[in-house]
Amino acid sequence: AKTAGRRTHYFFNDELREQTERQNAIHNRMRNGLKQHEFYLVYQPIVDFSTGKISKCEALLRWQDENGNHISPAEFIPVAERTGLIHELGQFVLEQACIDWTLVHKSGYPIEVSINRSERELNDMEAAKQWLSCIKQHNIPSSSITFEITESLLMSNKQRQLQILHYLRSQGVQLAIDDFGTGYSSMNYLQRYPVDYLKIDRSFLNHAPDDRIQVALLDALLRVARALDIDVIAEGVETKQQWELLQQQQCDFAQGYFISEPLPLKELLEFLRRWQF
Ligand code: C2E
Ligand code: CA
Ligand code: CA
Ligand code: CA
């Protein structure tokens, strides 16, 4: 039993070392990839149920490395967060989204854009001020930008980050809580923090409308949000049944493959032209 234990121990260390090496390799490739323009954005439309129109899009980061392989953000974002490269990546995302949104607005679509921010990006007031001046430089009204942050940040009660969130919002930027319902979220946090939108994770309605409990939870969440004047965006809407349920329950916004997958800018403009206006 003793030798087996020791072997497990070695195995564990090997695994850890491999993991670290893999992370370092990804970090270096990412840093290089930023210089080589291997990163780009795609945009996923979000529908406003009250008008039936696309009222905003979420910017999602994509990486096609030098060998032509697509690496998922679920893989590279956590590495960037750990190594700190998320600051450079985040700067790129904001800058590119502003450039793209100038074109979207010029093309006649007065819609908003939602941008993901990692917790680690929110610990620096100077960075936040830089974001605002970037938005201003591009002549984008700050109110047409939403920053999405995950619910874990709200629960961690980190004063500096919360102060920065308050500051951003005071300057007109909107805030959304991302992935609501995946952590140990409590509706209690909602009354204390400055938020405009709740994005409910797709796991919240993946079995709806057949699962009566999910339907009941959705109904309760929508009531609380309405009372607090927070708009709800349902994520990962994949089926007509989910769409109809959300509409019937008076959810505010929907996003998901049922409407559209995330699209490169050119395709997004074509999609917007076909959808409305
Ligand atoms: P997220 O912010 O929750 O983004 C939604 C994810 O769900 C996206 O995955 C999107 O492609 C996917 N999705 C959209 N509709 C559907 C649907 O109907 N069904 C299913 N199954 N999935 C759907 P993606 O693009 O792979 O991004 C994964 C995560 O990576 C994001 O989750 C976000 O946390 C992170 N991420 C992406 N771009 C950025 C970024 O620019 N900055 C930061 N900090 N994180 C980012
Ligand atoms: Ca998001
Ligand atoms: Ca989400
Ligand atoms: Ca409202």
- pLDDT tens profile 176-228: 999 888 776 667 777 777 899 999 999 988 898 899 999 999 999 999 999 99
Distance, in Å, from the CA atom of 37 to the CA atom of 174, rounded to the nearest integer, reads 29
Kindly state the tokens that stand for 116: 């993901």
**DSSP annotation string for 211-266:** -HHHHHHHHHHHHHHHHTT-EEEE----SHHHHHHHHHTT-SEEESTTT---B-HH
* Span of 135-144, 157-166, 261-270 with lowest mean pLDDT: 157-166
**What does each C-alpha distance from 164 to 132, 209, 228 come to in angstroms?**
12, 38, 22
35 Cα: distance to centroid of ligand 2 (angstroms): 25
The per-residue pLDDT for 10 is: 64
Which of 79, 100, 116, 243 to mutate to test ligand 1, by most ligand atoms within 8 A of the CB atom?
116
Query: Would the pTM count as exceeding 0.95?
Result: no
- Return the pLDDT at 152: 77
Judged by its nearest atom, the ligand closest to the C-alpha of residue 195 is: 4
> Tokens representing 103?
């074109």
For the stretch 85-120, pLDDT in tens is 999 999 999 999 999 999 999 999 999 999 999 999
Q: Which residues surround ligand 4, an ion (CB under 5 A)?
A: 229, 231
Residue type, 265: L
Give the 3-state secondary structure of residue 55: strand
What's the gap in Å between 192 CA and the centre of ligand 1?
Answer: 26
Q: How far is the CA of 16 from the centre of ligand 4 (A)?
A: 47
The distance of Cα 196 from the centroid of its chain, to the nearest Å, equals: 14
Say what the ipTM of the complex is. 0.97
Query: Which residue puts its alpha carbon closest to atom 4 of ligand 1?
Result: 60
DSSP string for residues in 193-214: S--SEEEE-GGGTTTTTT-HHH
Q: For residue 199, give the ligand nearest its CA.
A: 3
- Over 60: is that where the pLDDT of 168 sits? yes
Coil, strand or helix at 93: helix
**Residues flanking ligand 1, CB < 6 Å:** 44, 60-61, 72-74, 77, 93, 116-118, 178-179, 202, 236-238, 256-257, 262
| Helix and strand numbers, DSSP H then E, in the chain | 9, 9
- Buried b / exposed e along 114-137 (16+ C-beta atoms within 10 A): bbbbbebbbeeeebbeebbeebee
Distance 195 CA to ligand 4 centre (A): 11
For residue 255, the model assigns a pLDDT of 98
Q: What is the mean pLDDT of residues 153-179?
A: 89
Angle between the 2-35 and 73-83 helix axes, to the nearest 10 degrees? 90
